[in-house]
Amino acid sequence: MIRVGTRGSKLALAQSGMVADAIRRATGEEVELVEIKTTGDGTTVPVAQLGVGVFVNQLREALESEAIDIAVHSYKDLPTAQPEHLVVFVPPREDPRDVLIASGGRTLSDLGPGAKIGTGSPRRISQLEALGRGFECVPIRGNIDTRIGRVGDDLDGVILAAAGLKRVARQGEVTEYLDPLVMLPAPAQGALAVECRKADMTTALISSKLNDRYSQAAVAAERALLQRLEAGCSAPVAALADVAESAEPGEVDLYLRGAVGALDGSVVERLSTTAALPDTGEAGTADLVERAAAVGRALAEDLLEVGAEQLLK
């Protein structure tokens, strides 16, 4: 029996259920979902005030105490510092974009000054304010159902992650998929982190069968940028990497975009970079991931040079 730890929200259970099904298919083993309550559950306090790791710490404690064998996280919730004794694998990434769900099927361009848009994310608030459209950003917390339920009531729309909606089969309510040129996603958005004890060779091997090296490399670049900026998951920092096979044999192309903004949207610094990275297949995954992370750190340095440090302060 393989015990998979998960938060108890509808989205977390859907995500962990997907991982559990993949493990069953890969191994033929029985899999049990174990619900773990985290600090971030059951509170309406904005995540920015709760701090980094509020959806992660109790799952990791259960993993370390061997109450569970594998933990499933939304990768963007993980602190950038990874414990040495734990290892993370990344299944194929879902759509990383943000989406708008607005009353009357409206898009952002349909919403006028004073429109109330629900989001508790400093990153989203900064980019919405930068549009100069006069939107009123309303802080919200709660599960997907709660947030969508406010649309047409006290809110004109809400911004959510496309991946979460697809995983709970509510993507049909999306009124606009937001172009990353308008709303650059959070680092690692849309990616799951399958975490296990490094010393547990059995579960590490099982988890590695779920890994997608291109998704892992993309997330590594984005999170390395975030870490070099010394910013947490609730900071107004955005990043998105695309990794794809190159026309050159034995290489992959990495395209990375990063942004740091003032909360009021008065300044948003955006930069991008490209790199050709060697790719020797599954055996070279660790090298590919480290090289992608180096690209992320380099872009972070460029952002610091153009003023990101002052914006983060």
Give CA 278 to chain center in angstroms: 25
220 plus 260 within the same structural domain: yes
- pLDDT score, position 44: 52
Alpha helices, H only, the chain: 10-27, 47-50, 57-64, 122-130, 144-149, 162-167, 201-208, 213-228, 285-305, 308-312
Question: How many Å apart are CA 144 and CA 171, to the nearest integer?
Answer: 11
Q: Which phi-psi region, left, alpha or beta, contains residue 152 (left: φ > 0; alpha: ψ -120 to 50)? A: left
293 plus 269 within the same structural domain: yes
207 plus 217 within the same structural domain: no
- pLDDT score, position 163: 98
110 plus 228 within the same structural domain: no
What residue numbers bound the domain in which 155 lies?
98-177
195 plus 87 within the same structural domain: yes
Q: Is position 312 within any domain? A: no
- pLDDT score, position 313: 79
CA-based nearest residue to 23, from 261, 202, 163: 202
195 plus 62 within the same structural domain: yes
Burial 31-60 (b: 16+ CB within 10 A, else e): bebbebebebbeeeeebbeeebbbbbbbbb
Q: Which residues are catalytic?
A: 77
Residue at a domain's end among 122, 153, 177 = 177
- pLDDT score, position 231: 79
Whichever domain contains 83, its CATH number is 3.40.190.10
37 plus 114 within the same structural domain: no
CA-based nearest residue to 106, from 151, 137, 141, 143: 151
Residue by residue, pLDDT tens for the chain (313 residues) are: 999 999 999 999 999 999 999 999 999 999 999 999 876 555 555 555 545 567 799 999 999 999 999 999 999 999 999 999 999 999 999 999 999 999 999 999 999 999 999 999 999 999 999 999 999 999 998 899 999 999 999 999 999 999 999 999 999 999 999 999 999 999 999 999 999 999 999 999 999 999 999 999 999 999 999 999 987 666 899 999 999 999 999 999 999 999 999 999 999 999 999 999 999 899 899 999 999 999 999 999 999 999 999 988 7
What is the domain count for the chain? 3
pTM of the model: 0.93
